[in-house]
Structure 1
Amino acid sequence: MKFTAAVAAVCVSFLSQVLGDNVTTPSSSKVTLPATFKPPQVFKNANLVHVISLEKNYAKENINVLIENSSPESQDEYFLPFTSDQMEKIGGIEVKDRKDATVTGFAVDAVEFDPSSDTQYYRIRLPAPLPAKGQQTLGISFYYLNSLSPLPAAIQQSDKQYLVYEFSAYTPSVYPTLKQKTEVKFASSEITDYTKIAASGETKESPQKQGSKLTYGPFSEVPAGAVSPVKVRYEFTKPVTHVAELERDIEVSHWGGNIAFEERYTLFNYGANLSAQFNRVKWAQAQYFNPTSYALKELKVPLRVGSKDAYFTDAIGNVSTSRFRSNKREAVLELKPRYPVFGGWKYPFTIGWNADAKSFLRKKSGDSYLLNVPFIEGPKQSEGIAFEQVQVRVLLPEGAENVRFFTTLPESSITEHTVDLQKTYLDTIGRTVLTIKARNLVDDFRDRDLIVSYDYSLAASLRKPLIVFSSTVALFVGMWAISKVDVKFSTK
């Protein structure tokens, strides 16, 4: 990956001015408030459009809302309500100004105030306080993992799969909404069942169906906290691919000029289970016609141009049904599991590859280095992939210190970070390891940057070769000394 001068300058400035002495990550995503907390009624939603995308195997929601300060004082805190169950499944919350892309600095934090309450909140802090009667258009996006359920739960291996999703036609809000509508997008127009809402006043019967889209509303003057439960059932003849755990290791070698990547997946298909035993013969016969299937048959992993030495293993060993294509334009690792992964089935596997360090590593000044790698890569599928738990480990050279990092992931996605030492082959003090943990990510965040800054002095880089050299010399000197010892028996 090539750095542009602008990106490098921004990263260096950010790392030098904002980050701490040892290791830094985005600010805490938890805010503790009193148990009696209730969001103050200081805003109203003048206009709101809620877009729900069910085109992939997870739910993506966008809330575009024009907020207005209805209090006499300036306000900078806007609250979003979620149920306790939603809080466990939500991820990737991002906020931006829909009308002015140059406005940045929206901070999103989860609010902790009463764990027993079914209503929890995320707090959005505006970049600048909104004056009385002032307006601002917010674009709020987030994802729900494990929110789609198959119906029926078990089907034949050649049957079609249908999923169910539940939501509210009224967008949940702690503030009154003057006008709103909800749009639901599907992967196909085969929408077998959906909740209907009767006409009321000027509001027509909902929803209106147009191809693969349902529209609920528009609704007028919806009070704060109002909900209207809706359930939709639709065809989804693709696997519901879910990665319960991803462990990604990035090993940096200055002497070898190489960066080694390895990713270990615990993958599930959360689609409909088989109602009968898997029939291998019928499966092989059907593949001649290449039908659509809700079983996972293959994975494609696009890598950075210049990647090499790719491999693919599972619990048994090396998997030969894979192909790696690499040229000047692309690098793709194509994988085929040992068996089709049907609903409820599990497939753990490991992939790895090497890359030239020059594509990711730059020297800033003196002994300082800047590493820019994707936070996650992995398979890229048309049906999407969800990642529940992600652990990224960056193994820096032995002696690296003053480690700092920054990522373009949403702040609320990062849950933990540590810097430790790990001893590997021929190490003395051990290699510096930066570990970052995140949760509830999706493939939309593929290739988001992870930028790591660290110091690596000449003395530290010479430590290992000098120790290896001195140990080798000591070994030969010791062997020479032992060879000079006379161990023969005397005849006197």
Structure 2
Amino acid sequence: MPPSLATLTTSILLLSLLSAVSSSSLPQENGIRVVSAEKRVDLTGSIVKVFLTLKVENAADAASDASQVLVAFTPTEVEHLSIVKAMKVEGKRKKKAYTPLSVQALDLTTTPNGACLYSVQLSTPLKPGEATTLEVLYVLTHSQEPFPAEISQSESQLVHYRDSAVLLSPYNVMEQVTYIKMPSNRIESFTRVDPTGRAGTELKYGTYKNQMPYTYIPILLHYENNHPFAIVEELVCKVEISHWGNVQITEHYKLKHGGARHKGVFSRLEYQSRPSISGTSSFKKILARLPPRVHSVYYRDEIGNISSSHLRSDSHKTELEIEPRYPLFGGWHCTFTIGYGMPLQDFLFESDDGRRYINLTFGSPLLDTVVDDLTIKVVLPEGSKNPQPVVPFLVDHHLETSYSYLDVVGRTTVVLKKKNIVGEHNVPFQVHYEFNPIFMLAEPLMLISAVFLFFVSCIAYLHMDLSIAKSS
């Protein structure tokens, strides 16, 4: 049942009173208000992407310049929040210019309804009477809940999604509208908050005007979503750097289907005879986008090599389409390993201070997947010192020592860890380190020494007389 108008009005008034009581303790810019807000929610995949376009204004009677704009999230959204990006927009239409802005989470406990605030730092403070336009992107994972939780092989997958009809904001919102893009025309139900409209696969909430700070009107959507819910529970990526000209990548995956669990018996005959009906929510192919000029690509699991893969490459990218040994239904798991080599000259550079650095890509090459737990191990050449990772967002990192063939003191390894990874995290990162070229001679000298000692031993053995009897 959709909430009544009286209930919505009461909840809005209560939220307004709470915000008034707590406003003195919040780090707000007193004169900021949202002139217009447009919220677009993309539910067409397994990952929820939300795009906000905010026109904010510093009131003409404001006491000071505004250096930040606050964006609010509910506690549930923060649990599933993967990344937040913000940009300042200048110009119109084709002449638009975008300036990336820094976004930081604020540690506050006094906000109404437990709302969590993120601060968008403006590149140029807003003077009293000035306005600017911001675009904010945030990504939510594990936010679409399968309902029912179990389905048979021939059933479609239905999910729940919860949100607010209006924008949750610490400011007064003068005018706002919300658009929700659905994955299909099959929408079982959705909460109506007048004015609410539907056109095909898109829902529209609004336009709403003059909303008080921290207004929240919950909505519940129930719809069909058969997009593959591919979730990498754990990914361990090992990057081995050799100054002899190669970078070797080895990626170990633990993959699962995170959608509605499969119930009943799986019929391979039904799956192959009616592919458009049977197993519509399952998936049997995954696409990995690798760097260009990769070589020696392999794909295997515990049993051995898997031949059902296709590699396409050009000068700009390499795509590897892989097929697990069996299609994945809800709740099913599989593990596999992808490995490949890359030319060192494409990724190793030297900085002005003489230090070397390797330039790699963070995240996972698998498209449209969520990585719950990512570990990247960058194994530097033996003799490397003072490694320093440079990643454009917060990660956990530490150092350890790895051993390989002909190593004496071991190789310094930079270990990076991060949770809840999506495609927006696939950005370049660097590891800076010091390296003395003399260490490149260590392994050849060891091999030469070993061969020399072998021949010396052979010569000594041939010239030794080990007989007991005396020579006549």
* TM-score bracket for this pair, using the shorter chain length: 0.7 to 0.9
Structure-to-structure mapping, 1:312-327, within 5 angstroms: 312-326=299-313
In structure 2, relative to structure 1, the CA distance for the partners of 1:482 and 1:111 (3 Å cut) is farther
Are the equivalent residues in 1 in contact too, given 2:25–2:110 (CA < 8 A)? no
Match of 1:167 in 2: 163
Distance in 2 (alpha carbons) for counterparts of 1:415 and 1:191: 39
The verdict on how the C-alpha distance between 1:491 and 1:467 changes in structure 2, with shifts beyond 3 A counting, is closer
Counterparts of 1:434-453 in structure 2, within 5 Å, are 434-446=414-426, 448-453=427-432
Matched, 1:86 2:86: no
Q: Is the 8 A contact 2:49 2:140 kept in 1?
A: yes
Distance 1:115 1:250 in 2: 44
1:259 corresponding residue in structure 2: 247
Matches within 5 A, 1:417-436: 417-436=397-416
Aligned to 1:99: 90
1:340 aligns with 2:327: yes
Question: Could you tell me which amino acid in structure 2 is paired with residue 122 of structure 1?
Answer: Y
Q: What is the deviation of 1:441?
A: 2.2
**Structure 2 counterpart of 1:276, one-letter code:** G
Match of 2:13 in 1: none
**CA shift for structure 1 position 455:** 3.0
Name the counterpart of 1:30.
Answer: none
Deviations 1:163-217 (A, max 9, x none): 211000111111111111111112222222111013xxxxxx21x1122211100
Residue by residue, what CA displacement relative to the aligned partner does 1:91-137 show, whole Å, maximum 9, x if unpaired?
A: 12111102267664622222234499833322222223322233221
Query: How far is 1:331 from its partner?
Result: 3.4
**Secondary structure in 1 aligned to 2:380?**
strand
Q: 2:172 & 2:318 partners in 1: Cα distance?
A: 51
Question: What does residue range 4-403 of structure 1 map to in structure 2 within 5 Å?
Answer: 37-40=25-28, 42=30, 43-70=32-59, 71-99=62-90, 104=99, 106-114=101-109, 118-198=114-194, 205-206=195-196, 208-255=197-244, 257-287=245-275, 293-326=280-313, 331-364=318-351, 368-380=355-367, 384-403=368-387
* Mean CA deviation greater in 289-298 or 424-433: 289-298
In the TM superposition, what is the alpha-carbon distance from 1:80 to its structure 2 partner?
A: 2.4
Normalised to the residue count of structure 2, the TM-score between the two structures is 0.84
Q: Which runs of 5 or more structure 2 residues have no equivalent in the other structure?
A: 1-23
Quote the residue 1:469 is aligned against. Answer: 448
- Pairing 1:455–2:444 present: no
CA contact (8 A) 1:105 1:126 kept: no
- CA distance 1:282–1:488, change in 2 (3 Å): same
Question: Compared with structure 1, are the counterparts of its residues 328 and 228 closer, same or farther at alpha carbon in structure 2 (3 Å cutoff)?
Answer: closer
Match of 1:87, SS state, is helix
Structure 1 residue 305, shift from structure 2 partner: 3.1
Conservation of the 8 A alpha-carbon contact between 2:279 and 2:329: no
**In structure 1, what is the Cα distance between the partners aligned to 2:75 and 2:463?**
77
Q: CA deviation at 1:49?
A: 0.8
SS in 2 for 1:426: coil
The amino acid across from 2:252 in the alignment is R
Moved more, 210-219 or 360-369: 360-369
Larger Rg: 2
| 3-state secondary structure, aligned to 2:105 | strand
- Once the two structures are overlaid, the 10-residue window that deviates more, 450-459 or 167-176, is 450-459
Contact preservation (8 Å) 1:264, 1:351: yes
Q: Distance between the aligned counterparts of 1:173 and 1:37, measured in 2?
A: 16
**Is 1:415 the counterpart of 2:410 in the alignment?**
no
Deviation at 1:147, TM superposition (A): 0.5
**Match of 1:398, SS?**
coil
Q: CA deviation at 1:454?
A: 3.0
Partner of 2:45, secondary structure, is coil
- Number of residue-to-residue matches in the alignment: 440
Asked which structure has the greater RCO (Cα within 8 Å, sep 6+), the reply is: 1
Cα RMSD between the aligned structures? Answer: 2.9
- Share of identical aligned residues, percent? 26
Q: Which whole-Å deviations, capped at 9, do the CAs of 1:444-472 have from their partners, x for residues lacking one?
A: 444x2223333322212223322343354
2-side partners of 1:349 and 1:267: how far apart? Answer: 8
- Mapped partners of 1:327, 1:39: distance in 2: 51
Amino acid at match of 1:228: I
Q: CA deviation at 1:487?
A: 5.5
* Distance 1:118-1:472 versus aligned 2 partners, 3 A rule: farther
Relative to structure 1, is the Cα distance of residues 401 and 190 closer, same or farther in structure 2, using a 3 angstrom cutoff?
A: same
What code does the residue aligned with 1:419 have? L
Task: Output one character per residue of 1:365-418: Cα deviation in whole Å (capped at 9) or x when no partner.
Answer: 6854343222234223xxx2122222222222112234344345xx2xx32122
**What SS is found at the alignment partner of 1:296?**
coil
Q: Distance in 2 between matches of 1:112 and 1:480?
A: 74
